[in-house]
Each structure stands twice: as C-alpha cells, then as structure tokens.
Structure 1
Amino acid sequence: MNRASRPSTTTRSAMLLLSGLLLLPSSILAEPLSEGSSLGHEYQVEAVASGFGTPWGMAFISDTKMVITGRAGQLWLLNTESGESSELSGLPGDIATRGQGGLLDVQTSPSFGSDRTLYFTYSKAVDGGAATTLARAVLSENSDQLTGWEDLLVTDSASNAGQHFGSRVTFDHEGYVYFGVGDRGDRDNGQDFSNHASSIMRLHLDGRVPDDNPFVDDANIPDEIWSLGHRNPQGLAYDLERHRLWEIEHGPRGGDEINVIEAGENYGWPVVSHGREYWGPVDVGEAESLPGYVDPVKVYVPSIAPGSLLVYRGDAFPDWQGHLFAGALVLTHLNHIAVNAQGEIGEEDRLLEDLGERIRAVAEDNRGHLYLSTDSGRILRVSPPN
C-alpha cells in the first residue's frame, strides 16, 4: 500500500474501534427481542445463546457461568456474557429419555462454593420402566466434567408411562433438600400413599430421612414423603426470607395450581380438582374443595401448563422482590405473580406472549437478571432496559 492509499490516523482509529466492537458478545450488540413493563418495572429481553435441544434446568455456578440440563441427556456449561458453551461429561448411562422423562432439574448445593456439588433429578431406567431419581455429583475445578455421581433416592414410582415425572429441586434455610414426583399418568397414585408418586420428598443433603418427617412413624407411607396428592409438580421453590415452600403443578385441561406446601398435608389430586376431563366438559374429581384437603392459593383456568417456579430476590427489579415467576408452556409466556409483604398472592401479569416461546425454566443471576430456557433450545435474559 502506498502512502496515498494508507488510511489516515483517524480512519485507522475508527477501524480499530469497529473491529473491537465486532469481537464483543453478540448479546451486547443485539437489539432486544422484546420490551415491556410489569408490576412496577420496565424490562427488555435478549437472546443469550441457542442450540440446547430442550433445556430443562439451569443453575448458576458463578457470576457469568451456568450449567444447563438437556432432557435428552446432555449437560452444558454456558458463559452468559460471551454466549459460548461446551458439553460436560460424567452423566450416568441409565437416563431414560422417554416422553417427558430424561435429565430434568439441576441446582447448586447450599455450600457449592466449597463442595462444588450439583443436585439433579432425572428419570432412571429401572425394572418396571423409569423412576424419578434425586442424585448429586461434584463439578470439577475447571468445570468440564462431573465426578462421583451418586443416586440419593430412586423413588418407588417406576412405570412404563412416559409422563408426569415432576421434577424440580430446592433447598430450605435449614439445609434440607426437596423434590417432587408426579402421578406418572396414573390417577390412582394421587391418593395411594404406599409409593412415592404424587408427592414431594424432604431429605438430608446426603439422602438420609429426617427424623421429623411427617410420616416416619406410619408404616404405610414412605418416610421420605413431605406432602401428598400432587398431579405433576413442575415447579418447586423455597423462599429463604419467608421460610415458605411454594409449588406449582399441572392440572388436567384447567386447574393448574400454586400451593404453599406444609408438612403432612394432602393437596387432593384427583379427588379435588379445578380441571376438566380431556374427553369432554366433565369435572375431574368430586369437588373443587373438600374438608381434609388443602386448597391452592391460585388456580389457572384455562391451564397455562407451568414448567418451573422461582422466588425473585434480586436487586435489578426491587419492586419484584418476593414475587413468583413461572414459565408457561402451552400459553407460551412468563407468568409473573405478585406476593405482598404478608406472603399473600396478588396481581398476575403475563410477559413475553409476543415471542410465542414455550418457557421451561427460570433462573436468576447475582445482579437479579432473569434467565429463561425455551423448548426451542434458546436461553433468554430479562434485564432492565439499557
């Protein structure tokens, strides 16, 4: 290049600046997919990454890195700033990927910073079909593999049916772990207390049964059970500030429920339901409320088909603190439910309906930004407008 054709200093500076910008993560430069406001705050939605099959669960292991489960039996590490991802090794070989089953939820242990332990639920191939299972494993220091995979409870819920496995994982303020199992497509399991189906379990972190579980002295009910009568718990979240266990579950053609879970209580499925039969306009169950069964605090008719539940505690959206967020599958939105200072359910808002995405999981980073996984394989971020 001769001197006459060489770019000027100003031009070269502009070119360097442009090339530097082009190396920035695409999520920074991309236009928001959606914008809006909800219960006191404006927000924007960006695409962070894609190509994750059916990303079922998400858990942050650092400020900018999360692990993501794929229902078909994959585990990924995603950098939420750069959008780069890699697949991790160390999963068991007996994940039953059938129907709604596969590798399900993932959560970091309460002491992840020191023990690097991840908790999982998955459908395990067993005699009699597949059974929802709680497991844990250690994430290597360089976050590229799992070691020491350990099944903590293979539930007595085996079936050849491909639906209603549950299952989410959460931890309370005392260090207990909770997870749920659905009725496995058999309504009779709802009030058959001889197995783990249609129930939520409570365990020590190592899988032992706590001495104060509600049914440890009842020979007819498994000791691990904390609550009964759940159709298909797809969201489970513990509010560490209010010491409250929230659950959201699918109803049949109407009658999705949000429940406050208490020890030893029966939530009624299928005797009590707000749903309708799939084959006609006929009520399911005997009534919408009956003595001896706990009523939901919120019911959705028609069904939204919830996929998850999160208690928001971030600083990015202060007015949302203590509120609930649930991914909606059939009605394709992010469900936002206000919760007042007394812990009572309030106004509901439906976000991101314009995207038409089946929203599966919801997670929160250290800034209070929300991350959503969709059944189309995308990871989205909800944050305050730039």
Structure 2
Amino acid sequence: MPNSSVFSQLFKVMLCLLWAVTWCVSAAQKLQLQASKDYILQVEKLVQLPGTPWAMAWLNSSTLLVTLRHGELLSVDLTKTQAGQQAWQKISGLPAIWAQGQGGLLDVVKGPDGWFYFTYSKPKNNSGVTSLAKAKIVINDFGQVQMINWQDLLVTDSVSATNRHYGSRIAFDPQQHIYFSIGDRGNRDNGQNTLNHAATILRLNLDGSVPSNNPFVANSKVDDAIYSYGHRNPQGLAFDRKFNRLWAIEHGPRGGDELNLIEAGGNYGWPLTSHGQEYWGPLKVGEAETLAGINSPLKVYIPSIAPGSLLSYTGAAFPAWQGDLFSGALKLQHLNRIIMNQQGMPVGEERLFEDLGERIRALTVDPQGYLYFTADSGNLYKISPK
C-alpha cells in the first residue's frame, strides 16, 4: 500500500494539472483568434466596466476616458488592466443628465484645441434634449483625473415626448468645425422639419457659434446650425481626412440602416424615403426608396445591424485597413468593416467577431494603430494582429 509521501506527491501532481487546465481555460477566454480577410486577429478582453460604455477618447497614451450612458464618466488606466488591478475611476463634475431610455451621457471626443467635447441628454421640460458641451480633463498633482470648466455650447431645440433617437456622435474637420448628430427623437415629422434641430447633423465652430458659410445661413426656413437633415437616428460620424469627407451611419426602421456621405445642405430623406419596413407589418416606410432631390445612401443594411458608431481607420498596425470604415453592430452583434476602394468609396464589408455575442458600440484606435471596442455588457476589448 502506498505510503503517505506517495499520496502527497500524487496530490501535488493533480493540483498542478488542475491549475494548468484552469489557466488554459482562462487564457482561452482572454484571447480569441479570428481569420479575417487580411489578418489573423486576436481580441483580448481588458476589463469589465460598471455600466453601458457609450464612447471612448484618449486622455493620454495609456488612459481612456469612457462615458457610461447612465450618466457617469470614467478614466481607465490600461497599465492597471495588465497588472490585474482596479483600472477605472469615476470622474466628478458632470451636470445633471437625463438618463432615460436611449438618453444619457453619450459621445466624448478630444478636440483639436485640447478640450474634450461631449454630447448628452440635458433635462428640459420633463424630457431630455441632445446637447453639446466641452470641458477640460486634467491629471492633478496627486495623479487623480479631474474635470474642470464644463461649458454647454448648444442645448438643442429637440425636445420630445419620447426617450428615443437622441443620436449622437461628434466629428471634426481640418478647419476645426465640429459636427454632431441628433436623431428624430421618435417623431417622424421632425425628419423634414428644418426649424428645429431634431433629425439633423449640425455644424458649429469650437466656441459653439455658427460658421458664416453654413449651407442655410441665408435661408429663413432652416435653422442656421443645420448642415444636413432628413436623418432618422445617426449614431456614427467619421471624417475621412484623406478625401475630406464626412460619413454618417444611422439606424433605419425594421431594415434599412444607412451609410451616408454627408454633403452641405443635403436632405437624406427620412421619412419620405427609406429602405426599411414598418415595425407593425410588412409595409415599406415612406413614399419610395429614392426620390428626386434626396441624397441616397451609399450602403444599406437589410436586415438591420443596428450601427452604434463609426470610425475611419488610419493606423499603422493594420496596413490593409487603411481608409476603411468600422462600425459596431448592436443587433447583429459584430464589428462591421466597410471596405473602401482607392477612391474612398464603399465596395464591400466584412463581419468580425460574431462569435463573441456582444452588442458592440464604441470604437477607438491607440497611437500604435490597435483597435479597441466596448460592448453594452461593459466589456472593453483590444484587437491586434497575431
């Protein structure tokens, strides 16, 4: 009969084997591989955040600012995620936020002037209105991230009885104009109503004033801040600096999500034109899919993927992706790569990481060109080539 020392050795071996199996399972959860059109990709889960992350912006090369839709702003230290430490901290200083339905703290983007620009739903008349603001984010002498000097730039005229379709994303052009999108607020008539801000993309100067060359400044029937209108719910904006183009991606109704090339003064048709169907039956929305005088989408998704963001890729880590657009997909749960040709126009797509089962929303790229995305589960991921 084996003595106790033999049992002890066997027990140690079994523990080692158990630890090895557990480590392998953990590693498999940490890194997932996928063969894409151009690369073998690996995606790594970095951290789970306490809410629904809506947007990300870089504070510095290792720290992300993340908005949570329920009305909180976080700083996430990526060096601590690698060390297994508490990586996120709440940042105080936000105003009152109407975090109801699809409203809340929405986009954050670092502007060309070093300020951070935000969109959020501001409480007004027992509802919320999409609003644009800016603030300084600094690291104090104690290493704490602080917000100072919050300023509302535009509280839009977009009040509604619903808590749907707030938009809202931000983009900048090389002339330091700021663009931000607003949905129709659940009211279809807003699509062609140019006297309020709902269902539009607005263009402002960095101080919130209206540029003198906005397309409708001489038209008394259109609000001066409007750059384009007829949008249902654009939740992705990206400026392609190579071709000097603004792209928007927006939610259609049941089917008919749209990728649109945004032109000054353009009417994008909602609800007169649509590629989608009514939620209550198999009837098309609107008069037709195309009409004279309406800017048609350059890409349509049927069925809807429910796009939650848009990014124009210019990083060095994935050379074959240069100039392509990326969008998170909420309903069909994947990262949507829109393949662009040498003229900067869409010619195809690729659907990545469908097996994650995540409602992918926010996207950003680090200085090395690695791609990061968040999901409504709170998870933050990093994509790199294997």
User: TM over 0.5, yes or no?
Assistant: yes
Unaligned stretches of 5+ in structure 2?
1-25, 82-86
Identity %: 54
Query: Which whole-Å CA distance do the structure 2 matches of 1:380 and 1:45 have between them?
Result: 6
Q: State whether structure 2 residue 249 is matched by structure 1 residue 251.
A: no
Please state how far the C-alpha of 1:128 moved relative to its aligned partner.
Answer: 5.4
- Identify the residue that residue 98 of structure 1 maps to in structure 2: 100
8 Å Cα contact 1:178/1:202 also seen in 2:
yes
Query: Which whole-Å CA distance do the structure 2 matches of 1:101 and 1:348 have between them?
Result: 30
8 Å Cα contact 2:313/2:322 also seen in 1:
yes
Please state how far the C-alpha of 1:141 moved relative to its aligned partner.
Answer: 3.2
Please state how far the C-alpha of 1:340 moved relative to its aligned partner.
Answer: 1.1
- Identify the residue that residue 338 of structure 2 maps to in structure 1: 337
Query: Which whole-Å CA distance do the structure 2 matches of 1:80 and 1:288 have between them?
Result: 45
Q: TM-score, normalised by structure 2?
A: 0.89
Query: Which whole-Å CA distance do the structure 1 matches of 2:275 and 2:202 have between them?
Result: 24
Residue of 75, 78, 103 corresponding to 1:77 = 75
Query: Which whole-Å CA distance do the structure 1 matches of 2:189 and 2:163 have between them?
Result: 16
- Identify the residue that residue 128 of structure 2 maps to in structure 1: 130
Moved over 4 A (4+): 28-32
8 Å Cα contact 1:32/1:44 also seen in 2:
no
| Count of residue pairs brought into register by the alignment | 353
Query: Which whole-Å CA distance do the structure 1 matches of 2:333 and 2:29 have between them?
Result: 21
- Identify the residue that residue 267 of structure 1 maps to in structure 2: 268
Query: Once the two structures are superposed, what CA deviation does each residue of 1:16-55 show, in whole Å capped at 9, x if it has no partner?
Result: xxxxxxxxxxxx9776442113231221000011033100
Query: Which whole-Å CA distance do the structure 2 matches of 1:287 and 1:74 have between them?
Result: 42
Amino acid in the other structure paired with 2:130: T
- Identify the residue that residue 14 of structure 2 maps to in structure 1: none
- Identify the residue that residue 208 of structure 1 maps to in structure 2: 209
Amino acid in the other structure paired with 1:219: S
8 Å Cα contact 1:128/1:159 also seen in 2:
no
Unaligned stretches of 5+ in structure 1?
1-27
- Identify the residue that residue 117 of structure 2 maps to in structure 1: 119
Query: Which whole-Å CA distance do the structure 2 matches of 1:346 and 1:35 have between them?
Result: 25
- Identify the residue that residue 351 of structure 1 maps to in structure 2: 352
Q: TM-score, normalised by structure 1?
A: 0.89
3-state SS in 1 of match to 2:351: strand
8 Å Cα contact 2:127/2:163 also seen in 1:
no
Amino acid in the other structure paired with 1:221: V
- Identify the residue that residue 110 of structure 2 maps to in structure 1: 108
Amino acid in the other structure paired with 2:257: D
8 Å Cα contact 2:359/2:376 also seen in 1:
yes
Residue of 35, 38, 45 corresponding to 1:37 = 35
Amino acid in the other structure paired with 1:341: Q
3-state SS in 1 of match to 2:80: coil
Query: Which whole-Å CA distance do the structure 2 matches of 1:274 and 1:80 have between them?
Result: 41
- Identify the residue that residue 7 of structure 1 maps to in structure 2: none
Query: Once the two structures are superposed, what CA deviation does each residue of 1:302-340 show, in whole Å capped at 9, x if it has no partner?
Result: 000000000000000000010010000000000001111
- Is 214-223 or 28-37 further displaced after alignment? 28-37
8 Å Cα contact 1:108/1:118 also seen in 2:
yes
Amino acid in the other structure paired with 2:135: A
Query: Once the two structures are superposed, what CA deviation does each residue of 1:229-252 show, in whole Å capped at 9, x if it has no partner?
Result: 000000001112221101000000
8 Å Cα contact 2:49/2:88 also seen in 1:
no
8 Å Cα contact 1:139/1:145 also seen in 2:
yes
Amino acid in the other structure paired with 2:94: L
